[in-house]
Structure formats: C-alpha cells, structure tokens
Amino acid sequence: MPAHFLLEIHQSDHCRNVRHTHNHLLAYSQMQLIY
C-alpha cells in the first residue's frame, strides 16, 4: 500500500478504534494466560 494511504488510515478515527479494540483483546488474552 502507498505510504500516504497508510498515513490517512493511521490518522482516522476508525484506526484509533481498531487499536483500542486490539489493545483490549491483548489485555484480555494476557489476563487469560495469568489464570
């Protein structure tokens, strides 16, 4: 993908939501590993 296209995605609210969801899932999976 062109860099400027990735930059537009990076700056979008959608990407922030995806990153937030990813971080949540990552935290959840780490929690599952603890128990």
For residue range 1-35, what is the model confidence (pLDDT) as tens digits? 566 666 665 566 665 667 777 777 888 887 777 65
> What does the domain layout of the chain look like in residue ranges?
2-33
Determine the pLDDT at residue 26. Answer: 82
pTM (global) more than 0.95: no
Within 8 A by CB and 6+ apart from 15, the residues are 9
Tokens of 7: 């930059």
Determine the pLDDT at residue 22. Answer: 76
Q: Where are the alpha helices (DSSP H) in 1-35?
A: 3-11, 13-34
CB 26 within 8 A of CB 19: no
